[in-house]
Chain A
């Protein structure tokens, strides 16, 4: 075979088993992995499912030698491996492809592939020899890639292929992919599936870490589910249904997201009239956009990303001034009011990019929970922050929103994505706003967390909050909205009542294919 490992440690490529035995790992008070055992056989694709924070990443990093477990062992064919670092894991034939690639963007594909291998040559680069050998490897797995392009110029899917190839070149038999589809387009996902099946057929074993159910079902031979640091079970994929897997993942039945009884729209909260606003690059971000929103109503704004969503949210929160048109909130124009004023007047905002706009990564949960309202009488006295109250408030958010963390003092960036989003959401809802602008409120969350966020939004709607839901996820828009508006080219090109809203109709409007345009 064409594997070019320097010294493949024993056994044939086609028959081996990699296993974790009783692995336990604590971080401070958090039990990340508790007695986890897991097998990976040659020739199989094994999906590892679980919510954010279920301990998937931890067990993967333990298999890859990045984290050393407190208890338990990693074995190949029953022989224990003493993994102290990723290089030990690579040596043992275990490769990993991270969600965020570890490539040098300014180097070519070939240079990235040989970096740190013997091919690089000790003093003189031996590129041409390396090229022949690597081309052979790539061909044998039908991975098509131009070796001379700079990595920076590759698409995300291509970069991922380089990463996979890199692992194979280093002799990986077991390949671990962390959220491999998170960054791919649908057609790239299909290509990835083909490549992975090819690899499995050659006797490689592949673990896919994911929180996306559909992909796990499509691609895998076996599926394991983790919950709260434990492996709750492993099944042959063809013997279990998606519904059962969801129950296993979240540990309870998934409530159908049900819509509360129709709310009569009464009081008009927000009216956007013919607003034109420029983007930072001087393009027309909003081009005569109009919409209105009533108390107790969720209006979904659907649209392909980059069609004015950011500008709309920025104008509504005072972060950007419209060039013309008017925005009326509770009967008064807000055009010349500052963000601070608007937030105080009852507007809340869940930003699309919570890392950039919604939180300070190095702050504690407590500090992040008062990011907006730190100046309110509830949290300070004579300009001095009242720590006790802030801690109590944060404790309440943690409890109410089931945020898994070590406590109010934990650093925000140490939380999983879902828990981070819950904190931002909890903080904004706790302000009891009249108008909530929710951008992509569930992006990157897992099934359980999405359900939770949706439920909260519906509760708030029932309590009379007006919610502008700006999302690129059609399913989410359809599940929550009373009315759906379609945003394209900075204006509303269609309005559909929920009863008439179908995916196709909205999709066509989004892409500008239909004759229904307003």
Chain B
């Protein structure tokens, strides 16, 4: 007989919301103590964060700008996780996507204008996928840990970008590649802000990933392998192929993040394109409990936190690292909560 079935009257969703609210309060309390210790009134600081994040149209747009790449990298991490693989390499895949997109974008070899943007998108996806295929192959052929390989390949990718910027693709004055052609710019959604249509692609990607995981044969295989690889083998699933496909597709998603930064924000490839979007993506994925649509929400919240904290720093002189501490606390508390929940 099932013994631990939940019999609460309250719906699971309400319980979940209650938990999240509790977590936020706890984190706010902890950080409040830290803020107070540095001589800042925590309530003023929090109000400043809220204002900074939601106080103006531009502020909201900036939150979404920040949320876009980490949504993609989070989706990338989620797809791999669901298949029982760790993709720590979203950062590197993002760089390769950006490099490919920018390469197509400023060197269009006479492509018609209409085709430039789609070509950049495809190039970004393909480059990310190809870059992720390497650790996938090493894992499947030789059993090399994808965690270690992808971490190392992150450094390779970012260093390769610096090489291109300072060498073959140097533009002269700024540490960046030449700009892409205007036909390769993603449309801006809110005039006067940096918010580009890439956020829509991110939403679409999250929706598609949700559907793929829940309703397709491929998604079924991914989930089975992630949950019980022995049962998957016994059921005749070609585990290696599915893992390879997941890892490559995940790389493609991270590559789209790179494409979006290039085509939507910078219009070239600057040095230091990613301040660790790939790693933040892991955080987002875990906070979202590996659910793509939730990842979108978490990414926007993290975006708000970051944008708000920037503003708090400017007006109150509080170090921005308080945000890093908040993120860390969130993760610790969530992990702790899961430990407690487990019977």
Q: Interface of A with B (CB < 8 Å)?
A: 26-28, 30, 32, 53-58, 61, 66-67, 317-319, 338-344, 349, 351, 356-363, 367, 370-372, 374-375, 380, 383-385, 387, 414-416
A367-B220, A380-B217, A385-B215 given; A28·B234 CB < 8 A: no
Binds A, one of B2-10, B13-21, B66-74: B2-10
Q: Does B236 contact A (CB under 8 A)?
A: yes
A-B contact pairs, 20 of them (CB 8 A): A27-B2, A27-B7, A30-B1, A53-B1, A55-B1, A56-B1, A66-B3, A67-B3, A341-B236, A357-B233, A359-B228, A359-B231, A361-B227, A361-B228, A363-B223, A372-B235, A380-B216, A380-B217, A385-B215, A416-B2
Within 8 A of A (CB), among B221-274: 221, 223-224, 227-228, 230-231, 233-238
Of residues 1 through 55 on chain B, the ones whose CB sits less than 8 Å from some CB of chain A are 1-3, 5, 7
B155 at the interface (CB under 8 A from A): no
Name the B residues within 8 Å of A341 (CB-CB). Answer: 236
Contacts of B235 in A (CB 8 A): 339, 343, 371-372
Say yes or no: is B218 at the interface (Cβ < 8 Å to chain A).
Answer: yes
Asked whether, in the complex, the Cβ of A383 is within 8 Å of the Cβ of B218, the reply is yes
12 new A-B contacts at CB < 8 Å, known A338-B236, A343-B235, A357-B233? A27-B2, A30-B1, A30-B2, A57-B3, A343-B236, A351-B234, A363-B224, A370-B220, A371-B224, A383-B216, A383-B218, A384-B215
Contacts of B236 in A (CB 8 A): 318, 338-344, 372
- Closest B residue to A70 by CB, please name it: B7
**Most chain A beta carbons < 10 A, residue from B1, B223, B230:** B1
Rounded to whole Å, the gap between the CB of B169 and the closest CB of chain A is 40
Q: Quick one: which of B2, B215, B218, B228 has the most chain A CB within 10 A?
A: B2
A376 to chain B, nearest CB (A): 10
Nearest residue in B to A379 (C-beta to C-beta)? B217
User: Are B220 and A374 in contact, CB atoms less than 8 angstroms apart?
Assistant: yes
Please report the C-alpha to C-alpha distance between residue A384 and residue B217 in the assembled complex, in whole angstroms: 6
Minimum CB–CB distance from A23 to chain B (whole Å) comes to 13
With a cutoff of 8 Å between Cβ atoms, the chain B residues found around residue A340 in the complex are: 236-238
Q: For residue A390, which residue of chain B has the nearest CB?
A: B220
* Chain A residues, CB < 8 A from B1: 27, 30, 32, 53-58, 416
How far apart are the CA atoms of A302 and B293 in the complex, in Å?
Answer: 52
Closest residue on chain B to residue A376 by CB atoms: B217
Q: Which residues of B contact A385 (CB under 8 A)?
A: 215-217, 220
Query: Which residues of B come within 8 Å of A, CB atoms?
Result: 1-3, 5, 7, 215-218, 220-221, 223-224, 227-228, 230-231, 233-238
Taking the nearest CB of chain B, how far is it from the CB of A24, in angstroms? Answer: 13
Task: In the A-B complex, list the 9 residue pairs whose CB atoms are closest, starting with the nearest.
Answer: A340-B236, A27-B5, A414-B2, A343-B236, A357-B234, A339-B236, A372-B235, A371-B235, A360-B228
- Chain B residues lying within 8 Å of A344, measured Cβ to Cβ, are 236
Q: Judging by beta carbons under 8 Å apart, are B7 and A362 in contact? A: no
Contacts of A342 in B (CB 8 A): 236
| Given contact pairs A362-B227, A375-B217, A28 touches B5 in the complex (Cβ within 8 A) | yes
CA distance in complex: A58, B221 (Å): 35
Determine if A356 and B3 form an interchain contact, defined as CB atoms under 8 angstroms apart. Answer: no
CA separation between A30 and B236, bound complex, in Å?
34
Tell me, in angstroms, the Cα distance from A344 to B237 when the chains sit together: 11
Chain A residue numbers with a CB within 8 Å of B221 are 374
- Complex Cα distance A272/B323, Å? 65
Most buried by A among B220, B221, B231, B233: B231
Q: Report the nearest B residue to A347, measured CB to CB.
A: B236
A318 → B minimal CB distance (Å): 8
CB contact between A338 and one of B2, B3, B238 (< 8 Å): that residue: B238
Bound state CA distance, A267 and B204, in angstroms?
56
CB-nearest residue of chain A to B221? A374
Contacts of A416 in B (CB 8 A): 1-2
Q: Which residues of B contact A27 (CB under 8 A)?
A: 1-2, 5, 7
- Inter-chain CA distance A370–B219, complex, in Å, is 13
Q: How far is the CA of A32 from the CA of B234 in the complex (A)?
A: 33
Structural contact, B234 and A319, CB atoms closer than 8 A: yes
How far apart are the CA atoms of A11 and B217 in the complex, in Å?
A: 64
The reply to whether B3 and A58 form a contact with Cβ atoms under 8 Å apart is yes
Question: Closest B-chain residue to A387, C-beta based?
Answer: B215
Q: Would you give the shortest CB distance from B220 to chain A, in whole angstroms?
A: 5
| A360 near B231: Cβ-Cβ < 8 Å | yes
- Complex contact A356–B228 (CB within 8 A): yes
Q: With a CB–CB cut-off of 8 A, which chain B residues contact A28?
A: 5, 7
Which residues of A have CB within 8 Å of B215?
Answer: 384-385, 387
Residues from chain B with a CB closer than 8 A to the CB of A358 are: 231, 234
Q: Which residues of B contact A339 (CB under 8 A)?
A: 233-236
Contacts of B224 in A (CB 8 A): 360, 363, 371
Q: B171: shortest Cβ distance to chain A, in Å?
A: 44
Q: How far is the CA of A351 from the CA of B238 in the complex (A)?
A: 18
Q: Report the minimum CB–CB distance from B246 to chain A (whole Å).
A: 15
How many whole Å from A78's CB to the nearest CB in chain B? 28
B85 to chain A, nearest CB (A): 17
CB nearest neighbor in A for B225: A360
**Nearest-CB distance from A309 to chain B (Å)?**
15
What is the CA–CA distance of A309 and B198 in the complex, to the nearest angstrom? 56
Smallest beta-carbon distance A179→chain B, Å: 13
Residue on A with the closest CB to B227? A360
B231 touches A384 (CB 8 A): no
